[in-house]
Amino acid sequence: MIVDRFNRVHNYLRISITDNCNLRCFYCMPEEDYDFTPASRLMQREEIYGLAKVFVDEGVTRIRLTGGEPLVRKDAGAIIRSLSALPVDLTMTTNATRLKEFIPVLKEANIKSINISLDTLDSDKFLFLTRRDMFSTVQANIELAIAAGFIVKINMVVMKGFNDNEINDFIRWSRDTPVHIRFIEFMPFTGNKWTSNKVFSLDEILGRISTQHVFQPLTGNEHDTAKLYRIEGHSGSFGIISTMTSPFCSGCNRLRLTADGKLKNCLFSRGETDLLTSFRQGKDIRPLIHSNIELKEKELGGQFNSSLQQIEAMGIENRSMITIGG
């Protein structure tokens, strides 16, 4: 088992297979002209499988593929197929722009649930946010995924003054369509110009929804990142990932492997451990994994707390979101 000093067992690995993306969301990427990691420095397909197998042997039971946008990688299908041979619950997060062509592969890999990043239901706002005119493609591919039988979770990063006025639009979408909305508090990363006054909090989100709907909390488990709710008569549900105002660190079971093979024990960790170099040298990486986890902080990478006004975003030592993996 992979256990930290706070007795948290880590059995969930998020693997970024690329830092490349075909969208340019400003809260994820620092700028339009971004220098992506050269292919030689990325984990290769066999290395992704080999590293993942070590984690599985150490107790990991769930793997999520992320990016960047994982489906822009040329060998994404082969990576998905290879990992599906491991005894894990395999899932992924995508922007859905290329989802149509990968539905057969995902079915073959027995992937049952997909998280799709979508921060607005307004096509003009989508273009402004992503700097790409692909809203209709995303919308159509979400419908295809639902029709194909996937559990579809929609990740919506709520930013005050930008898309908080769409919260109830997403809720209405879940009435007749089995989409499970995940409202995410805006988080600080290198280059995303985070300020506390852009955060639309858990309480504010619930308050906005309560103006039009009656909802009931759902029972979750200790590892849930989202606080879950249901509205009677709705096909879908909603949840809130309240990283900034009500963290869920006490039940954290997650590890992150970046596309260049670095292990991060927290989304906000300052440090990371290079596994790929040692793996390429034929060394046993298990001691590196366990020493990394032993250094995991109790909460939020040890860099800040949930008092928003006291957070100095410029002082946080981290990567940009796209180089960490969603």
CA distance 225 to 236: 18
The backbone region for 77, taken as left when phi is positive above 0, alpha when psi lies in -120 to 50, beta otherwise, is: alpha
Question: What single DSSP character describes residue 33?
Answer: S
Tokens of 127: 């273009």
Torsion of CA 215, 244, 186, 62, to 10 degrees: -80
7 is a domain residue: no
Q: What is the pLDDT of residue 265?
A: 94
Of 148, 146, 153, 156, which Cα lies nearest the Cα of 122? 156
Domain coverage including residue 169: 12-324
Q: What is the pLDDT of residue 314?
A: 63
* pLDDT mean by block of 10 residues, the chain; 326 residues: 96 95 78 70 96 98 96 97 98 97 97 97 95 96 98 96 97 97 87 78 97 94 90 97 88 95 91 96 98 92 69 64 67
81 is a domain residue: yes
Q: What is the pLDDT of residue 37?
A: 79
Q: Are 270 and 301 a contacting pair, CB within 8 Å? A: yes
3 is a domain residue: no
Give DSSP secondary structure letters for 232-283: TT-SSEEEEE-TTTS--GGG--EEEE-TTSEEESSTT-S--EE-HHHHHTT-
Q: Round to the nearest angstrom and report the end-to-end CA distance of the chain.
A: 24
Q: What is the pLDDT of residue 273?
A: 97
CA distance 24 to 38: 19
Report how many domains make up the chain. Answer: 1
2 is a domain residue: no
**Buried-state track 244-274, b at ≥16 Cβ within 10 A, e below 16:** bbebbbeebbbbbbbbbbbbbbbbbbeebbe
Residue 143 maps to which CATH number?
A: 3.20.20.70
Q: What is the pLDDT of residue 25?
A: 82
Question: What single DSSP character describes residue 87?
Answer: S
pTM score, whole prediction: 0.91
CA distance 60 to 47: 17
6 is a domain residue: no
* CA 197 to the chain's CA centroid: 23
4 is a domain residue: no
Q: What is the pLDDT of residue 142?
A: 98
Q: What is the pLDDT of residue 33?
A: 59
> In 3-state terms, what secondary structure has residue 114?
strand
5 is a domain residue: no
